[in-house]
Amino acid sequence: MSGYRCGICKKSVKFDVKNIGMQCAYCGSKVFYKERPTVAKRVHTR
Ligand SMILES: [Zn+2]
């Protein structure tokens, strides 16, 4: 399962890997960003 975020409406959309025709179900956009897991990396520099 891969998560993507629409580049237009910024909604989280999920696509099936086999589904090649990617299109936003909300606004019909075809621009997507690969969604990153929001892991806050805190590096202690000291
Ligand atoms: Zn959209």
pTM of the model: 0.58
User: 12 CA to middle of ligand 1, Å?
Assistant: 8
Confidence band, pLDDT 50/70/90 cuts, at residue 6: very high
Please report which helix (H) or strand (E) contains residue 2, including its range. strand 2-6
Q: Between 16 and 6, whose confidence is greater?
A: 6
User: 28 CA to middle of ligand 1, Å?
Assistant: 6
User: What's the chain's average pLDDT?
Assistant: 81
User: 5 CA to middle of ligand 1, Å?
Assistant: 8
User: Which residues pair with residue 44 across a beta bridge?
Assistant: none
Please write the tens of the pLDDT for every residue from 25-44.
899 999 988 877 666 778 88
Q: State how far the alpha carbon of 4 is from the alpha carbons of 21, 25, 26, 27, 44, in Å.
A: 14, 12, 13, 14, 30
User: 21 CA to middle of ligand 1, Å?
Assistant: 14
